[in-house]
Chains A and B, each alone.
Chain A
Amino acid sequence: MTKPERTGPFRLRIVRRQGPESPSSVEEHAIDRRPGLTLADALEELTRRHTEAPSPATRPLAWGPRCDDQSCGRCTVTVNGAARLACQTTLETVPAKREGITVAPLSKLPLVRDLVVSRARFEADLERTSSSLPGAARVTPEASRPAADAPLVDALARCTGCGACLEACPEYAPDRAFVGPAVLGQLARLVIDPAEPEALRRRRLDAALGKGGLADCGKSQNCVEVCPAGVPVVDAIQRLARLATRRLFGSQDSPVE
């Protein structure tokens, strides 16, 4: 898809803001694009430059943190307008525009500073729908899972909550009720998993059908395309839809599956 021969010097443009209320400014840096250099490496180099030669004009860039194995999802930014994990993005694969490569914070989550955003709403949506990221959930005993659904449940458990899908989703926006693909994926995981208590599964399914849930999905499928962890969100959403069809005609107490 991308030509590998994108090396050499180029301009890295960083959209910086002191805080949510401050005006934004674009900082330009010359970076040598060495093969294999990731965006996280480049950002680290900038932070080093800022700290080694401190000036009143530049304060160290806030970004990350980086875990480098794509497991924390906290270095997600937009690169030329599209969501990417900084630690996963090698700069030679990014098509540089004439003005260079522009890095900005995720636009749909509230800004904290520079490239750092708050995931508070995402976490609140998880809590409100009585779901959670796998890290926070108790571990499901392997043996109690049905063999057929185990791969889907496991794949959905790979979500790190990085927010790339929220950024890419044309229906998710800060001013809208829609909880977004990541929360729907986690709801689906906990609704499908038979090791979860039945009453809780039913409550989660109803939460998925309520305001800001399943119905707001526009089927653009951008979520799966941008997910750095390969979480099958589209499969999860269709599974929820099937359970919802059953729920339409079943009673509130009837089993989820």
Chain B
Amino acid sequence: MLPVTKEYRPFWLRRLHSLTGLVPLGSFFLLHLFANARAMQGERGFRAMVLGIQGVPGLLLVELLLVFLPLAIHAGIGLSIALCSRPNVGAYPLPRNWSYVLQRVTGVVTFAFLAYHLASLRLRVALGSLGPTDFFSTLTDALSTTTAFGFPTAAVVYLIGIAAASYHLANGIAGFCWTWGITITRRGNRIAGAAGTAVGACTFLLGATTVLYYATGSPWLGERSSPSLGGERGAASTRGQP
């Protein structure tokens, strides 16, 4: 095995950054979006999903080991990579050079979004002021009513956060293939990039659709129903009709 010494520290850290980014965090991001898309089946579907997750034995430990620990490692190494970078797209406005900048920018944006996302939901559960099954009403409330100057701020913040994370994952898949030597040519890595883009497009569409549902009561930008708090979404809107 390669020695774990100071000489090889940057190398080990980069590999750890790459591994934590794709394996636990990338797959968690996918699972998280799929699970939360259940909200589009109304509060009943969402509650069933939440209760299913709550039934996982040792949930807190699983969360700590598979989500929060990798997140801390990935964010810590990633922030130092991003903050030490010296972008030069002014002199070299090339597509891959833009990806280099965007990968760092979306990493920082995702980190900021996660801080907000976790503080407004997960932290409140840890402090006992919110139950996991209350997420539906809290999100419906926040995403459909938080506005500034007539602008749905919270919903836009969620869309930006999901877009940033999706780009970071898409480009990160090609990066992972490069870092581990899965691809060994520029062309091969471009193909990995295309596959990554397909994954990123899926996560963005899934996430954006869910956000739009929370904000408008409809998964697509269409008719806008009034936000109903607490009650079953589909039922509430049909009940109101004569």
Chain A residues near B (Cβ < 8 Å): 78, 80-82, 168, 170-171, 173, 206, 209-216, 218-222, 224-226, 232, 234-235, 237-245, 247-251
Contacts and interface: CB of A to CB of B under 8 A. Distances in A.
A128 B183 CA distance: 28
B42 to A, nearest CB: 43
A209 B7 CA distance: 9
A155 to B, nearest CB: 11
A225 B14 CA distance: 24
Interface residues of B, number: 36
B206 to A, nearest CB: 27
A222 B96 contact: yes
Contact of B11 (A80, A170, A209, A238): A209
5 contacts: A211-B8, A225-B94, A234-B186, A238-B185, A242-B184
B184 A238 contact: yes
Contacts of B197: none
Given A219-B175, A239-B184, A170 B97 contact: yes
A170 B87 contact: yes
Contact of B97 (A206, A221, A243, A245): A221
B86 interface: yes
Nearest to B186: A234
A240 B11 CA distance: 12
B76 interface: no
Contacts of B7: 210-211
B10 A216 contact: yes
Interface string B75-98: 000000100011110111010110
Contacts of A226: 92
A216 B146 CA distance: 42
B15 interface: yes
Contacts of B180: 241-242, 245
A148 to B, nearest CB: 11
Chain A interface SS verdict (over half): helix
A52 B233 CA distance: 87
B181 A242 contact: yes
A173, A206, A234, A239, most chain B CB atoms within 10 A:
A234
Nearest to B185: A235
A241 B90 contact: no
A-B residue pairs, 7 tightest by C-beta: A242-B181, A220-B100, A81-B91, A221-B96, A241-B181, A215-B10, A215-B14
Contacts of A244: 2, 11, 181
B1 interface: yes
Contacts of A215: 10-11, 13-15
A164 to B, nearest CB: 11
A132 to B, nearest CB: 22
Contact of B15 (A240, A248, A250): A248
A240 B182 CA distance: 11
Contacts of A171: 85-86
A241 B85 contact: no
B11 A210 contact: yes
A242 B10 CA distance: 17
A72 to B, nearest CB: 24
Given A209-B2, A215-B11, 16 more contacts: A81-B91, A82-B92, A173-B86, A206-B2, A214-B11, A220-B97, A222-B97, A235-B184, A238-B184, A240-B181, A241-B178, A242-B180, A243-B181, A244-B181, A249-B1, A250-B1
Contacts of A221: 94, 96-97, 100, 186
Contacts of B186: 221, 224, 232, 234-235
Nearest to A78: B91
B189 A234 contact: yes
B218 interface: no
